Amino acid sequence: MELKVIARIRTDFDEKFGIPRQSGLAPSLTGRIIFEPEYRSRDALRELDGFGWLWLIWGFSKVPEREEWEPMVRPPRLGGNRRVGVFASRSPFRPNRLGLSSVKLEKIVDNTPQGPVLIVSGVDMLDGTPIYDIKPYHPQADCHPDAAGGFIESYKDYRLQVQFPEELLRRIPAEKREALCQVLAEDPRPGYQKDASRLYGLHFAGYNIRFRVEEGILKVVDVEENL
């Protein structure tokens, strides 16, 4: 079966570092789904605005293809030193490099130069990520609040405290600040990096956010505009 790219999503991430590990972790993080010319049909979206959430099926476009697949992976959240089965993970290194995200449909913008555009929130994708399909989220069938969460249960309430000096926060456009703070609170670092003296740089919305993490507190130390 040949997969066709039906759309691409525009987000505030031009590199993978800092992208939330799952959709919905940064609810204020928005994206614009722009359809390929062949699929810019308003009829294809008829009654979609009656749904609150969508499933996106997309591709890990920056992951290199491999001739052989590995049955075990090392999830970064587990510190990179514990192996789990690839099908027990959401690792991008899989036989088929497909991702699945549940996002909130904020609105549909009609009559743009690029046809109808979907505005969604809670995204977890790189800018330009190809989308292969869009399906409505069915709350009666798709929600399982009592489902077991496996090894991720111990991380579901994990958050960092973010210290963002006001003079630095003001350098970020007002409409981007809440989403950025949510991204930082989720701890962008790989699980195996715990050096409190290390300075990190996160590219977000055209800015480079520099920060350190010590004893559960993420401290922003500089904000530079990417030129």
Give tens-digit pLDDT for 116-162. Answer: 999 999 999 999 999 999 999 999 999 998 999 888 787 666 789 99
State the pLDDT at residue 32. Answer: 98
Tens digits of residue pLDDT in 138-151: 999 999 989 998 88
How far is the C-alpha of 101 from the C-alpha of 95, rounded, in Å? 18
Tens digits of residue pLDDT in 197-223: 999 999 999 999 999 999 999 999 999
Quick one: which of 68, 91, 71 has its CA closest to 21?
A: 91
Tens digits of residue pLDDT in 168-187: 999 999 999 999 999 999 99
Tens digits of residue pLDDT in 24-33: 999 999 999 9
State the pLDDT at residue 75. Answer: 79
Q: Is the pLDDT of residue 14 over 70?
A: yes
State the pLDDT at residue 33. Answer: 98
State the pLDDT at residue 79. Answer: 67
Output the DSSP codes for 105-132.
EEEEE-S-TTSSEEEEES----TTEEEE
Q: Is the pLDDT of residue 191 over 80?
A: no
Q: Is the pLDDT of residue 80 over 80?
A: no
**Which value, in Å, is the radius of gyration of the alpha carbons in the chain?**
18
Please, what is the average pLDDT of the chain? 93
Confidence (pTM): 0.92
Q: Are 57 and 131 in contact (CB under 8 A)?
A: yes
pLDDT band at 194 (very low <50, low <70, confident <90, very high): confident
